[in-house]
Structure 1
Amino acid sequence: MTTAPSRPEELLLPAAVAGADAATVSLPADFGAEKAAWAFVDATLERWRRTALAPRVHTAVGELVANALEHGLAGVNEEPFPHPLVVTVLADGPDLLCAVFDPGTGLPRPAAGHGLRMVEAASDAWGWTVPGPWGKGVWTALTRTGAGPAPSTVRRLLLLTEVYTGHAHPRLVTAPASAKADGLLRPERTWR
């Protein structure tokens, strides 16, 4: 990986970018973001002919966007750079990985509510990126094996993590199964 650029304007995203096996949308930092994320996911899954995954993806992405709005934007006093919220969906064969990037640097913490438990229930694996100067991402994988994302998907997510978080040496962390609701999640696996 290369050294992260110093806030170049060319990193700003258009409203949505889509390809054969990757799609990304930049969302406004307001409470319409969750509905916009669902519409984006629906359109992406429809284009990829994977609408059967929609209920699981809706649950996971909806909770991740809600958490990003509530916690990832807390304490951000100026317009977040290079993005307020970014939702990315990556496909690798029948497997999907969805990530929500926000400008926050705090790690996911199970709250008194049930949001992260819902993400865990909808996912085969989930986790977060080690925060960089521009924020972090929280991701969810829906895989045919239940073993977590494929190595090729991990490499793609690491590249996106470098771009969206500004981290020169990005890392992904996998949450342990049945994460405890009483404190910071401990990593089960870390990728570099």
Structure 2
Amino acid sequence: MATPTITLVTAVPNPATFGQSVTLTATVIPLGAGTPTGTVTFTITGGPILTGTLSGGTTSVVASGLSAGVHPVVATYSGDNNFLSSTGSTVIAVVHASTTTSVVSTPDPSTLGAPVTFTATVTPVAPGAGAPTGTMTFVIGGSGGGLFTQPVTAGVATLTLSTLGIGTHPVVAIYSGDASFLPSSGTDTHTVIPAS
């Protein structure tokens, strides 16, 4: 008669940061003598279905690309000639990744009436990874400045102006955040000089 089993499953790290891979480990415990063999199938809600082969009663797989949020996991042991199948479960929590935002202007200084391009770059903070989207709000101080909202594509937003007056212009770039990344902001100073 086949021996019953209990399947335990763990996720590390948990919680994980968006962009970070998660290692799922299943341990199949026999309610009797011997070591279970066979496979364990990990079904991740909102994620992939992964299969690992038992070695010494355990197996591990790596899940990547999980969205921010909560992902229930069910690990199903297949059973073998000597051991009955069983299931275990856990929950993976994936949190939004922190970001940093930097902003630069080109050329700097610029001459009166010439176009200036402001480039803001959003960078995930490790262990987070990926390409932030959303919007960037540029707050340009001084004459000819203002408040401008631009899209963020692959972590970068740009704004070009030719309206800035002579003098120093404080610049703040405010990233909105998105479904995977937290907001952040960066600052810079731009100077406009008279045309020669």
TM-score normalised by structure 2 residue count: 0.22
Structure number with higher helix proportion = 1
Report the TM-score when normalising by structure 1: 0.22
Structure 1 or 2: larger strand share? 2
